[in-house]
Amino acid sequence: MNCGLCLHYLRAENKCPGCYTGRKVNGKPIKCGRRLCQERKGDFCFECGKFPCDSLKRLDKRYRERYGMSEIENLEYIKEHGLKKFLAKEQKKWQCPKCGGIICCHTSLCFNCQLKELKRKKKKYRRNEK
């Protein structure tokens, strides 16, 4: 996943520093199952002999259905073209046409020009959850 598109990475408060910060964040272990996978030997899941594993397939299915993106396709692109080209492609794909900011893959809202709408949606969602 491109951390730069993630709601948890983009938010201002309690911001996730991303998966490549080490095994602990603020003294607490990173909880990402894929990042801490004992089977993987390199930085990317495609470096594993079990790629794509059942865990990654479940994540990929959820992201395809909810957010219109594929974790497996992203990893295959990185494997074939490299991380630098992947990030350049992502920048173009997720750039806000209005202001040039970053559109969050989880909310489909720009974290620059649509921040008020994002905050309103978040409050509405929380009320419905009570």
- The pLDDT tens digits for 94-124 are 999 999 998 988 888 888 888 777 666 654 4
Cα–Cα dist 11/45, whole Å = 26
Q: Which amino acid is at 4?
A: G
Whether the bond into 97 is cis, omega within 30 of 0: no
Cα–Cα dist 107/110, whole Å = 8
Give, in order, the Cα–Cα distances in Å from 129 to each of 43, 98, 122, 124, 125: 36, 32, 11, 9, 6
Q: Which residue has the higher pLDDT, 39 or 53?
A: 53
Query: Domain locations in the chain?
Result: 3-129
Q: Exposed, middle or buried: residue 74 (CB in 10 Å: 0-12, 13-18, 19+)?
A: buried
- The pLDDT tens digits for 55-100 are 899 989 999 999 999 999 999 999 999 999 999 999 999 999 999 9
Cα–Cα dist 1/98, whole Å = 24
Identify which of 15, 61, 17, 62 has the alpha carbon closest to the alpha carbon of residue 35: 17
